[in-house]
Structure 1
Amino acid sequence: MSAAAGTVHGVGLGPGSADLMSVRADRLVRGARHIAYFRKAGKAGQARRIVEGMLRADVVEFPMDYPVTTEIPLDDPRYAATLAAFYEDCATHLRALAQGGEDVVVLAEGDPFFYGSFMHLHTRLSPHVPVRVVPGIPGMAAAWAASGEPITWGDDVLTVAPATLPEAELARRIADTDALVVMKIGQNLDRLKRAVAAAGKTAVLVEYAAMPEQRVRPLDAVERAPYFSIALIHGAGRRP
């Protein structure tokens, strides 16, 4: 790495409200000359929305538009190939900025190292330029706060699982744990509902945690899960 290289900062913005950002994240975002963020093509993007009104007047923005979201199945080799090329292009641009001495802030919803796209940039950038990560409050923490109940008690084991798992595997993990957080629900809602029922448990769905649209409902009463949805099964372990 060049001694004169700038730093790429992966900055966790938290679950969706600017006042849940860390002091460090706030400082970096407000001072950034270059910011980058992922978004769906044609949309402003949640990360960019969170920092609205915080950016300096001369900021240079680099929106990174996903080439695919649900258009290609996850298990289709084209999906991985398309995203790999996309991440490589994004990393090339950010690497050039850093190697030219510029610091760059990459905005990341939640925490950068928790089911986030920033990790794909990190693996491509860290061998070449300095990369620093600012942790953020993950969406699941905002979700269980919104539910009004502790997620774990005493010796409860907490499992975090994506709803993209095969249904039988998802049901097994639900049955084998005390408390559960389920991410990546979307089109997998019906699969998740069946898996929860098969495990003999009940769950709640938290939509838009920490955002103005926040809503908490029993999972079995939900017919559609928005992108920002997290399912919870609360633990009921040892208590004094």
Structure 2
Amino acid sequence: MNNHPAAGTFYGVGVGPGDPELITLKAAKLISRCDVICYLCNDADSDRPGRSQSKDIAQDVINDRASKAIEIAIPMPYSRDRTAANKAYDQGAKAIKSALEQGQSVVFLCEGDPLFFGSYAYLQERLCEAFTCLSIPGISSPNAASAVAGIPLTMQKENYAVLSGRLSDEKILNHLREFDSLVLMKVGQSRPRLLALLKESGRIHETVYVEYATREQQKIVYDVTTLGHEAGPYFSLFIITRHQRNV
């Protein structure tokens, strides 16, 4: 719904997993022409305050703009406490709302795909009743990780699931038993626990680990039994597939 006929449009633009060359033509076009560029960034308490992963990915496109865009940075605390995150999204939505009411087009840069574990979804939820919100899909991390590892995510009649690594042990084990192929997202701090669950399920030798897919610091581990039991980075995942395929 758009209650402001002269208002601008809010775009959630997927900039992909990290390699700037994987930004779609449509995404690059919108970034090049919009009035306002919006993105999440590290808050003041982080090691690198103001740093934005999504903006870094799109920086070349931003630099090539004919004119400088207005920028709205939304500082985001790295905490599992949703209260602080919701407050940041509320404040960000308020700033975006002001720009939209002035008739400006606003592009929100989102790593991967805007509606796949994407931060854009929280802003869309706050703005969609009053403004036109459009999502431009981007390459998600499971697809990027599958490509760099050279592993099909699913084939023929295989079933496939994407799980958050923050789910309970019971839910993860149940899915490991039920699904032929899975991607475990948000590995990070959960990596030691997830490795133990993969071993318990008997699927540890069907697992590949990928960090920072398509980025300069990309890392692929085909034998995950060699991984240390310390926490991994935020941008990491496990791909689990059956060795024997009924094709």
Q: Same fold (TM over 0.5)?
A: yes
- Residue by residue over 1:185-220, the C-alpha shift from the partner in whole angstroms, topping out at 9 and shown as x without a partner, is 111011101111111102111011011111110333
Contiguous gaps of at least 5 residues in structure 1: none
The corresponding residue for 1:220 is: 225
Aligned-partner Cα distance in 1 for 2:31–2:128: 20
Aligned-partner Cα distance in 2 for 1:148–1:87: 37
The corresponding residue for 1:44 is: 51
Match status 1:146 vs 2:148: yes
CA RMSD of aligned residues (A): 1.3
Q: Is the Cα contact below 8 Å between 1:13 and 1:20 reproduced in 2? A: yes
Give the superposition deviation at 1:99: 1.1
Give the superposition deviation at 1:171: 1.5
The corresponding residue for 1:122 is: 124
Q: Note the 1:83-232 alignment, pairs <5 A.
A: 83-202=85-204, 203-217=207-221, 218-223=223-228, 224-232=231-239
Letter in 2 for 1:62: I
The corresponding residue for 1:238 is: 246
- Identity across the alignment (%): 29
Give the superposition deviation at 1:46: 1.0
Match status 1:61 vs 2:71: yes
Aligned-partner Cα distance in 1 for 2:142–2:149: 10
Q: Is the Cα contact below 8 Å between 1:152 and 1:237 reproduced in 2? A: no
Give the superposition deviation at 1:40: 1.8
Aligned-partner Cα distance in 1 for 2:33–2:224: 41
Give the superposition deviation at 1:106: 0.3
**Deviation above 4 Å: which 4+ runs of structure 1?**
none
Q: For residues 26 and 141 of structure 1, do their structure 2 counterparts lie closer, same or farther at Cα, with a shift above 3 Å needed?
A: same
Q: Is the Cα contact below 8 Å between 1:155 and 1:237 reproduced in 2? A: no
- The partner residue of 1:18 within 9, 20, 28 is 20
Letter in 2 for 1:19: E
Letter in 2 for 1:234: T
- Residue by residue over 1:153-175, the C-alpha shift from the partner in whole angstroms, topping out at 9 and shown as x without a partner, is 21111110011011122112112
Letter in 2 for 1:209: A
Q: For residues 44 and 189 of structure 1, do their structure 2 counterparts lie closer, same or farther at Cα, with a shift above 3 Å needed?
A: same
The corresponding residue for 2:46 is: none
Letter in 2 for 1:52: Q
Aligned residues: 231
SS for the counterpart of 1:53 is helix
- The partner residue of 2:83 within 81, 84, 87 is 81
Aligned-partner Cα distance in 2 for 1:195–1:169: 11
Q: Is the Cα contact below 8 Å between 1:111 and 1:135 reproduced in 2? A: yes
Aligned-partner Cα distance in 2 for 1:39–1:233: 31
Letter in 1 for 2:145: A
Letter in 2 for 1:220: T
SS for the counterpart of 2:177 is helix
